[in-house]
Amino acid sequence: MQLEPRTHTPLWMTISAPIIAVFVVMILCSGLILWAGAPLLQSYVALAKGAFGSKFAIAETLVRATPLILTGLAAAVAFRAKLWNIGGEGQLYMGALAATYFGTGMINLPAPLMIPFLFVVGAIAGGVLLLIPALLKTRLNVDEVVTTLLLNFVILLLANYLLFGPWKDPMAMGWPQGAPIIDEGILPKLVAKTRLHGGLIFAVLASISVWVVMTKTKWGLEIRAVGLNQEAASFAGIPINKTIIRTALISGGLAACAGVTEVAGTKEYLTLDISPGFGYTGIAVAMLAGLNPLGVIVAALFIAGIYNGADSMSRAMDVSNYIADVITAASLLMVMLAVMLTRMRIRFS
Amino acid sequence: MDFFDMFLNVGFWAATVRMATPLIFGTLGELICERAGILNLGIEGIMTTGAMVAWMWVYQGGDLWTAVLVAALFGMLFGYLHSIFSVYMGLSQHVTGIGITLLATSLSYYSFRMLLPGVTTPPKIIPFQPLPIPLLSDIPVIGEAFFTQSPLTYLAFVLVGVVAYILYRTPVGLAVRMVGENPMAVEVQGIDVYKVRTGAVMVGSAFMAVGGAFLTISVFDAFYFDMINGRGWICVALVIFASWRPGKALLGAVLFAAFDAIQIRVQQSSASFIPYQFFLMMPYVFSILALIIMSRKAAYPKALLVPFRRGQR
Amino acid sequence: MADTDTVLRVQNITKTFGDLIANDAISFSLKKGKVLSLLGENGAGKTTLMNIIFGHYSADDGYIEIFGNRLSASNPAEAIALGVGMVHQHFTLADNLTVLENVILGTEPLWKWKQDKSAGRRRLRELSEEFGLHVDPDADIKSLTVGEKQRVEILKALYRGAKILILDEPTAVLTPQESDQLFDTLRDMLARGLSVIFISHKLGEVMAIADDIVVLRHGKLVANFPIAEASREIIAEKMVGEAVPQPERQVMEKGAELLCLDTVSVQDAAGQKILKSVSFNLNQHQIIGIAGVSGNGQKPFSDLISGMCKPTSGSVSLSGEIVSVFEPQKMVESGIGRVPEDRHVQGVVGDFSVEENMILESYMTPRFSKLGWLQRKNVSDHAKALIKAFDIRGAGPETIVRGLSGGNMQKVILARVLENNPEIILANQPTRGLDVGAATFVHEQLFEARKGGAGVILISEDLEELLAVSDQIAVMYHGQLSKLMPVEGVTQQQLGLLMSGEGFATQKETKHNAA
């Protein structure tokens, strides 16, 4: 078996590749649904309804998509520079911790200032967290994959300590959760009687901004050059370490903003389960989007829909909602394969 | 308790050896993969799968040793899947590995839920019992600490020697080392690079799965979600710490387990003034520190992360 | 059907890569005890054809017969078993393993509990003796010289009992004297009944050793005749097609001093001295050629002038001013135009478009970015103008560079480098892998720049190129630079001796001290 590069990839192929990949994943995962003894068609209908079947479902899917857009962007930006940031989960919690620290009464500003302030401090906290692995990589040649992964556990334990200890809200009847974010810091609701909040607008704006930075600015050129060919970039005089550090700050900051949207928007206080793995799922979102910042929005909507749909499917059909994790993981792998096949053809001999 | 008394304590050493076992399996497995030039970040998920299937096998009435084989088989399966992406297709090993981890973990959880619907407290099995080695186990202190362990622990220690021997003394070991240095050098000698790499990833993944199985059918007697808890990632760090050498990997795993055992004991005796979460952070912090110390002079296998594409210009 | 003398037969081999036809219905045969020389320009399809014979690639059409057996698999195992050995252009050795380990892999079944190294060592020693290919079986590959590595490659083939040896550009990395030695070895082998396919683009060597000649051009076989019927002129014409007029070097008066290196040394990360007290002057209107076997300090030398590394002692001055900051961007600003050694690795970002690659060194200037925003129109206009000026055919500003031919890719780099009229041009292997037309274009550009007042440093392993283009030549050996010699009166033999270290008298001592 040999792989040969295609000289030309038609546009339809680029666009349809992820769609076909996801379709194949759905067929493969049908086996798991059948194993659970659930009728296939009805299960998928339940899934679709749970994801997009009503105003409430759509709102919930958008709520879930919000942090996924941000963690997906974080991964997309970092991976463009071949900075393997697998620490989105830790950075998310870092953002949530910062929002809780500053947003529960320590500082009191009117809402138009308070909300941006929370995003800024959150982003700084997340950026600084990723700065550690980035510095270790650029200064001491320490592999960032392992350090970012390990830091996730450290930060989760830190949050655990704070919520069981000094930050525990005495009004929460013994539950390990933080004090509520002050009213000025709460993201405004977008649609009445739903949980849909302004974080979505922030996430979409973030996607557009990242797209603009990546395609229209000097920084974007530097990040892409470093990721595609570090040696040539270095030879041409592009500051490699500076670019990696800058990428780390942007990426860590974006992931941390997901923590801010969850604490100040979805939950309105910090708990230890604000993220069911949004940091890791963000990697799947980024890959599904082909690392395109605008594609991240679509990919996040899809993944969020799968999770919410799987929840309601599991209630209706007795199929464990872990099926959503399976679909996400399988999509990640299948999309990689599909995108490669748009660039290469396989020749068997 | 005096800090230094701990080192004279049988329980401390026994715990160290016990805690080192899954790390030895995992680190050896990762080492084999990386020696062949493939970073296997599927380790965390493969360990989870190993833990789940081995436990489930025994729970469904299977035999303990067969459970180990079943775990290894599932490990190989995911290893094969990994190599389709990383070896044959030459895709990013980082992303492939994370994908395999997510897939293996979620499939394990899904299967667990499907096979045991509606259980709230995890059911238990009868795990491996300590197997005292005749004569050696009668030595005071040492015998109890090192020679009254689970059979899987002995297996782990024996495998270190076996892996080292195969890597450095047999033709297949030479092929694995060479394919991680310069795959073309192997290709031109008429050996299939893809097969060598795939084989290494499959065997390595089997080791990882057995490491996971050790947790559910030897140390504990139940399967919990999130029970691997970063052990896989620690193994990845230990491989770098060990400079890709099996002997040093053993040393690293034992050292690491010893620190962990110290940490637990200190935690028990000082819980009043240092919150336990900070002790739990220690393994991860140690791993990062180990990486910082070793990375400067790390001599990576040269072809690590570099895909080999046959017949391409 | 074939006579008993034919050991290898190539029949109608066709191979395409995408749109490119690398081999177009090629047929020829090799006879026992003979040397068949496969000639052709870079990109003519020689290496592709050999890779098909050895089983790296599978042909789209046609077949290969070795001793009457048709090759079926597309992997080297079968070719090796039938007695083919290949010495690749780029060595295929694992650096941190020993010679013996590199040789014996694959010679015994993989699944064996014990590797018989002593038998292997004995056999390797015997072969070394027999063919005069001396090398220590237990040395690590990384400690060997280029010549020794090549011996290991040949020994690998002999160890497998090769009857047919394919050598792909074996002399590209050798000094003329080492090449002569190689030819002696080859004649030895022929006498023992081996057959050889010898790939080259150097006519001189081919005339010296070949029995038969096969010439490829643009993937097609254009000539196949015995050496007796050939002359240099005929072969050259077959290789290139129409003769490309070579630009003549004109004698020029040198101008003001541009660059001066005063006893400059450079150490690598491990503290080893890789450039040793090099002194060197470059003036306006001057082309200085740097010869030497690759790996003798050319890299730190060019890295230094490119701003990729710093001197550990000595001083570098540009037009009389001592340089204190060694950074790529600083060097570009000081008027140094740098053509890097490896186009694909350092020269271009392959997945970037032509326009992006053309601003890679200047994207931060106000012309191309204001307040961090790229000026798209300027970027695009700039690319259009350069594409036109440098005649980069088949490319627009948004064409992805990876798909361009080697010559066009080099033009993208030259355009980027030359558009700012640099005072100093550092051209490191600028014609490597280019066909004659493209190489001539590069030379013309260098002459043009020299005429405009620039000084040029040309680093090359091709002595013919150096002798044709340079005004002065120096040789690098083990991190040292010889004195400059006017090109008039310098011969290839003289350069060869210098390249193998003769005349670097103090060298041996320094080496021992360092070790």
C72 touches chain A (CB under 8 A): no
pLDDT at C34: 93
Residue A173 at interface with chain B, using a CB cutoff of 8 Å: no
C391 CB contacts (<8 Å, ≥6 apart)?
A: C411
Q: Would you call C308 an interface residue with chain A, using a CB distance cutoff of 8 Å?
A: yes
Q: Examine the domain organization and report whether C514 and C451 are in the same domain.
A: yes
Q: Which residue of A has its CA nearest to B96?
A: A333
B residues 176-215 closer than 8 Å to C (CB): 177-178, 181-182, 184-192
Q: Half-sphere exposure of C477 toward its Cβ, with a 13 Å CA cutoff?
A: 22
Distance CA B159, CA B157 (A): 5
Of the candidates C479, C96, C503, C473, the residue with the CA atom closest to the CA atom of residue C293:
C479
If one looks up domain B3-295 in CATH, what number appears?
1.10.3470
- Kindly report the CATH number assigned to the domain that includes residue A231: 1.10.3470
Q: Which two tokens stand for residue C174?
A: 């050798």
Q: Do B185 and C102 touch (CB under 8 A)?
A: yes
What residues in C contact A236, CB-CB < 8 Å? 328, 360-361
pLDDT at position B285: 94
- Tens of pLDDT along B229-285? 999 999 999 999 999 999 999 999 999 999 888 888 887 776 567 888 888 898 999
* C352 has a pLDDT exceeding 60: yes
Domain check: are C459 and C503 in the same one? yes
Specify whether the CB–CB gap between A307 and A324 falls below 8 A.
yes
* pTM of the model as a whole: 0.93
Question: How is residue B79 written in tokens?
Answer: 């290893």
pLDDT in tens, B58-80: 999 999 999 999 999 999 999 99
Residue C3 banded pLDDT, cuts 50, 70, 90:
low
Give the rounded percent of residues in chain A with a pLDDT score beyond 90.
Answer: 86
**Residues of A (63-102) whose Cβ lies below 8 Å from B:** 79, 84, 86
- Structurally, chain C folds into a number of domains equal to 3
Check B277 against A141: CB less than 8 A apart: no
Of C240, C264, C287, the residue that ends a domain is C240
**From C329, C350, C373, residue closest to A216, measured CB to CB:** C373
C-alpha A218/C-alpha C498 separation (Å) is 47
> Which of B99, B106, B230 lies closest to A322 in CB terms?
B106
Q: Is residue C462 part of a domain?
A: yes
The residue among C456, C453, C413 whose CA lies nearest residue C432 is C413
Cross-strand pairs, C481: C476
Note down the domain range covering A95: 2-347
The pLDDT tens digits for B129-173 are: 988 888 888 887 778 888 889 999 999 999 999 999 999 999 999
Instruction: Please report all neighbours of B, defined by 3+ CB atom pairs within 8 A.
Output: A, C
Q: Quickly state the pLDDT bin for C507 (edges 50, 70, 90).
A: very low
With cut-offs at 50, 70 and 90, classify the pLDDT of residue C393.
confident
Judge if ipTM > 0.90. yes
pLDDT value at C274 more than 70: yes
Residues C351 and C320 in one domain: no
CB contact under 8 A, C88 and B188: yes
What does the pLDDT read at residue C402?
Answer: 86
Residue C245: burial class (beta carbons within 10 Å; 0-12, 13-18, 19+): exposed
Residue-wise pLDDT for C289-327, tens only, equals: 999 988 899 999 999 999 999 999 999 999 999 999 999
Q: Where are the domains of chain B?
A: 3-295
Across the interface, whether the CB atoms of C329 and A237 are under 8 A apart is answered yes
Question: Which residues, including other chains, have CB under 8 Å from residue C302's CB and lie 6 or more apart?
Answer: C338, C340, C341, C426, C428, C457, C459
Range of the domain at C292: 249-335+423-515
H-type alpha helices, chain B: 10-35, 43-59, 64-83, 93-115, 142-146, 151-169, 171-181, 183-187, 193-214, 231-241, 246-270, 276-295
Residue A272 has pLDDT above 90, yes or no: yes
Q: Which residue of A has its CA nearest to B299?
A: A141
Characterize C94-127 residue by residue with b for buried, 16 or more Cβ atoms within 10 angstroms of its Cβ, and e for exposed.
bbebbbbbbbbbbbbebeeeebebeebbebbeee
A333 near B CB under 8 A:
yes
Q: What is the pLDDT of residue C53?
A: 94
Would strands C20-31 and C6-17 be described as parallel, antiparallel, or unpaired? antiparallel
The residue written with tokens 């040395």 in the block is C139
Residues of C contacting chain B (CB within 8 angstroms) = 17, 48, 51, 54, 56-58, 74-81, 86, 88, 90, 92-97, 101-102, 104-115, 156
Query: C340 lies in a domain?
Result: no
Q: What is the pLDDT of residue C2?
A: 47
> Distance between CA atoms of A251 and A263, rounded to whole angstroms?
19
Distance from CA of A218 to the nearest CA of C (A): 5
What's the total number of domains in chain A?
1
Nearest CA in chain B to A329: B103
CA distance B257 to chain C (A): 32
**C-alpha B164: how far from chain center:** 16
Q: How confident is the model at residue C4 (pLDDT cuts 50, 70, 90)?
A: low
Percent above pLDDT 70 for chain A: 99
Q: Is residue C1 part of a domain?
A: no
User: pLDDT band at residue C508, thresholds of 50, 70 and 90?
Assistant: very low
Task: Report yes or no: C248 at the A interface, CB cutoff 8 Å.
Answer: no
CB contact (8 A) between residue A217 and residue C349: no
- Please tell me whether residues C415 and C427 are part of one structural domain: no
- Write out the DSSP string of C444-497: HHHHHHHHTT-EEEEE-S-HHHHHHH-SEEEEEETTEE---EESTT--HHHHHH
List, as ranges, residues 326-365 from C with C-beta within 8 Å of A.
Answer: 327-329, 332, 338, 340, 345-352, 356, 360-361, 363-364
Radius of gyration of chain C (CA): 24
B312 and A283: CB-CB below 8 Å? no
Q: What's the average model confidence in pLDDT over C396-421?
A: 91
Distance, in Å, from the CA atom of A71 to the CA atom of C77, rounded to the nearest integer, reads 48
